[in-house]
Amino acid sequence: MGQKRFTGSPITAKKDELAKQEETLRRKMEELQREIDEAPKLAQAERERMHEERILRAHTKRSAFDSADILQDARHSEDLFDARPRRPRRAQRRQARIRLLVSGLAVLILAALVVLLAIHMFTRL
């Protein structure tokens, strides 16, 4: 009665299969090409985001109780630490010590002079 009719040869089946594979590979290649084209834009956006984040981190004031491992980023703002008093240099510290010593000696000498004058005044009475 009915013979099964063979619709296609094995060659046509293989050709159709290869065409489908080619189409999927072409779609995948286009998708990858789109990703390659978008990569510099995404990288630039990421660099800008990180730059803004660093600037924001550099401009935030830190408390004395913050962790010591958090470093301030001084590249973005030189006036960030201007409120902090500067530590005097070695020569300034030496000069301050000498002034303190001289003024201390002057106070001692004046105190001794006042005591001697008071003793002299009380002995003459």
pLDDT tens by residue, 68-97? 555 555 555 555 556 666 777 888 889 999
Cα–Cα distance measured from residue 30 to residue 38, given in angstroms and rounded to the nearest whole number:
12
- How do the domains of the chain map onto residue ranges? 10-59, 95-125
For tokens 């003459």, name the residue. 124
pLDDT value of residue 36: 93
CA distances from 62 to 27, 36, 55, 76 (A): 52, 41, 14, 15
| In the predicted structure, residue 99 carries a pLDDT above the cut 70 | yes
Mean pLDDT over each residue of the chain, to the nearest integer = 83
pLDDT in tens, 36-68: 999 999 999 999 999 998 888 777 776 666 655
Could you tell me which of 52, 34, 31 has the C-alpha nearest to residue 42? 34
